[in-house]
Structure 1
């Protein structure tokens, strides 16, 4: 009976994941909310699933979720768009993270009584928007290609940057005697460079191997195996495995462009089936991860939940300033400021990073998780409402233009 119950639950979660994703595409309401609610029902509300059964593999599951997320993000990015829109996207990402971390530090210092580094860690965790939510919403609101690419790139960059910064801050918390500025800059630069180079180099080598394996079966699952090996290899060198996954995906997803850059005699290409396969793997991991988070969250304190809502409002204010600063001398961004401001939903990267304080034995680890999950839900709701208002306003303007 236990085995039947486990299989029934797994099947039910996958079906609900599909339905919630379909609901997201048709209504614009992100599936995260439904998946988290299912987890809450299974865990804290009905006590159907004991959260302690996840203790042994939760860290590996979190790393896998982030790895798959960033690999798929790189796989779906067009390289020429990265070079074209990268400066503005990087500016928006960096300004947004700096403002969010600054606001969050002040929030944590004066309302939670935390010191500098714990406050900065919380800021890094909630520092970036979610690429897995932003990209589909861009299609939903029919944004222009430039704005859609800019916001998708920004969310992809922040996924990566927040991971690097959060890991750097945690290393400082674990070794408080080190010089703060030197240490964090060294950790970030080292992790980024090692991760980038390993991802790019292994990606180019793997493209050549894929070309040699043309016509063979199971190349997609073999590529997934390489992502896992690459992550482990990069982490063992002291680099950031998440960044290597992103760069590896970027190379594999732009095989044709890379072959031109390398002046390869044989043109390489990314097979459509590979993108579809890894999209389904990403869907599977993401679905189970958010249900898992709903199961393990405690929400023991109403005060902490309210603090999470307040922090979400402060993040929105910071987002307004970040968009305004990044839109200087760019008329197209100025025209789309309202859309860019509401694209602040936190998602998988923030959820995964919220587990780091617990893994590293930091104080207030459960508070991090409760606040971050509250911020995820609150910012997703803000974004959903904003998209609804934006779509209504856009439809009215188009109707007036035709009349």
Structure 2
């Protein structure tokens, strides 16, 4: 494909994304699915674009997409909402991860005949929800602040779980030995150090940015700082996504310090509004290309991985509503509870980790990669269609209607 055709395609994709957003009010289908299908059309179906065409730019592009989505979402979260949602989000993350890892790993071992450690690796890398997929859907649906915060935090926390457990099990696949203690310590260390780094730098930057604004418009200086933070934290071996989310939440809530004696040092909320709008538009454009990019990378090696993935996704979505019913606390509409019950798409983290066993020459690498790509596609397809349905027709699942009615009369404190 020549350069002029690529430029035309990039322009058409942006117009298509705005069109899909307009159609959303009628179809309730998030544009994530439509852009993913466009990528499949451009890549696997027609062969117009090959994954190899992206070269080394592809992985960098996916990281930048994740950085922008997490930062932009973090700046919109209110600190009080984060505090109220963290308990439910943490429990939901852990229980959903354990259930999904057990179901996916068990089926990979029993039906796909993946060896035990390889099956455990597969189960763990698909055990979470994808922040790169969840956050744009939540934003487009316009969910209640509490429900949206829980899903955002769940997706960010589960990225840490999937990365640390996945990399630990990858080492076990190579060495034949697995130690649980270092894995748990690695999860805790990766989360806490990254979060502290993001919060501390967010406080420092909220002071610095106030002085930068007096000299020039600092829109791209924010972007530069976010990229530096993500890269530095990742380079040190911790989770850059959590650091960026913590940075965004801190920067978005730094104006609250205006009520203290240190208030004169920190940027006001009003000064951040223009920057939020800029990042929202930038994130919208980048994630448009990202979902098409994911579609281009889909692999269709046969029906078996997709049928196996469909079975796994169905079992997960049968159990997730009960987990939501049991663990989520707080007042929210039935429509949001239904959405939360079916929000389990896979995305960036499993796509990256699934390629590692094959790159390292492990025998089970090919079936793990095929099954993971099938899981990504099937989970996004099924989850977005179910969410589109419940947006129009909220219904009782796992007692969620009863829960919603109970919460109408009282707010449950976690």
TM-score range, shorter chain: 0.7 to 0.9
1:240 matches 2:222: no
Map of 2:280 onto structure 1? 279
- Does the aligned pair in 1 maintain the 2:207–2:266 contact within 8 Å? no
| TM-score between both structures, scaled by the size of structure 1 | 0.84
Map of 2:292 onto structure 1? 291
Map of 1:219 onto structure 2? 218
Map of 2:96 onto structure 1? 96
Deviation at 1:29, TM superposition (A): 0.7
Distance (Å, rounded) in 1 between the aligned partners of 2:260 and 2:122: 40
1:181 matches 2:180: yes
Map of 2:162 onto structure 1? 162
Map of 2:194 onto structure 1? 195
Relative distance call for 1:50 and 1:258 in structure 2 (3 A) is same
Deviation at 1:304, TM superposition (A): 0.9
Give aligned pairs, total: 393
Relative distance call for 1:325 and 1:129 in structure 2 (3 A) is same
Map of 2:82 onto structure 1? 82
Distance (Å, rounded) in 1 between the aligned partners of 2:143 and 2:279: 25
Map of 2:412 onto structure 1? none
- Does the aligned pair in 2 maintain the 1:345–1:383 contact within 8 Å? yes
Deviation at 1:133, TM superposition (A): 5.5
- Does the aligned pair in 2 maintain the 1:39–1:292 contact within 8 Å? yes
Distance (Å, rounded) in 1 between the aligned partners of 2:66 and 2:141: 27
- Does the aligned pair in 2 maintain the 1:227–1:245 contact within 8 Å? yes
- Does the aligned pair in 1 maintain the 2:190–2:239 contact within 8 Å? yes
Deviation at 1:227, TM superposition (A): 1.3
- Larger CA deviation: 36-45 vs 124-133: 124-133
1:302 matches 2:303: yes
Deviation at 1:208, TM superposition (A): 0.8
Distance (Å, rounded) in 2 between the aligned partners of 1:146 and 1:386: 21
- Does the aligned pair in 2 maintain the 1:100–1:123 contact within 8 Å? yes
Map of 1:229 onto structure 2? 228
- Larger CA deviation: 46-55 vs 331-340: 331-340
- What stretches of structure 1 of length at least 5 have no aligned partner? 398-403
- What stretches of structure 2 of length at least 5 have no aligned partner? 396-400, 402-414
SS of equivalent residue, structure 2 residue 371: helix
1:43 matches 2:43: yes
- Does the aligned pair in 2 maintain the 1:25–1:136 contact within 8 Å? no
Map of 1:55 onto structure 2? 55
Deviation at 1:87, TM superposition (A): 0.8
Distance (Å, rounded) in 1 between the aligned partners of 2:229 and 2:248: 11
SS of equivalent residue, structure 2 residue 238: coil
